[in-house]
């Protein structure tokens, strides 16, 4: 496999850094040279693991809501049965 190299300094190590496009107000992630900071690629700010975590939290909230709602329905049913 060919090693990727920075076009400016020849370094072979890179990192992902969050950045904000000032005029557009959009967050992006630069893949950039760890030595000189020259960007070599731009990633969408969307991070799948963060989105999955947010969805899991939402599902937990919905589950809690429906459990409470189920208790509410059970309470009303028992009250009506009296």
Contact residues for Zn ion, defined by CB under 5 A: 6, 8-9, 11, 33, 35-36, 38
Q: What minimum distance in Å lies between the beta carbon of 31 and Zn ion? A: 12
Q: What minimum distance in Å lies between the beta carbon of 12 and Zn ion? A: 9
| Run of H or E residues at 72 | helix 48-81
Question: Which one, 9 or 20, has the nearer CB to Zn ion?
Answer: 9
DSSP 2-66: PPP--TTT----EEEEEEEETTTTEEEEEEEETTT--EEEEEES--HHHHHHHHHHHHHHHHHHH
Q: What minimum distance in Å lies between the beta carbon of 42 and Zn ion? A: 16
Question: Which one, 28 or 35, has the nearer CB to Zn ion?
Answer: 35
Question: Which one, 15 or 64, has the nearer CB to Zn ion?
Answer: 15
């Amino acid at each position: 496999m060919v090693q990727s190299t920075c076009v400016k300094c020849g370094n072979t190590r890179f990192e992902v850094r969050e950045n904000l496009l000032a005029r557009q107000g959009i967050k992006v992630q630069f893949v950039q040279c760890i030595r000189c900071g020259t960007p070599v690629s731009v990633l969408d700010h969307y991070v799948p693991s963060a989105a999955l975590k947010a969805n899991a939290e939402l599902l937990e909230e919905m589950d809690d809501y429906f459990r409470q709602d189920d208790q509410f329905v059970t309470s009303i049913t028992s009250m009506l049965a009296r």
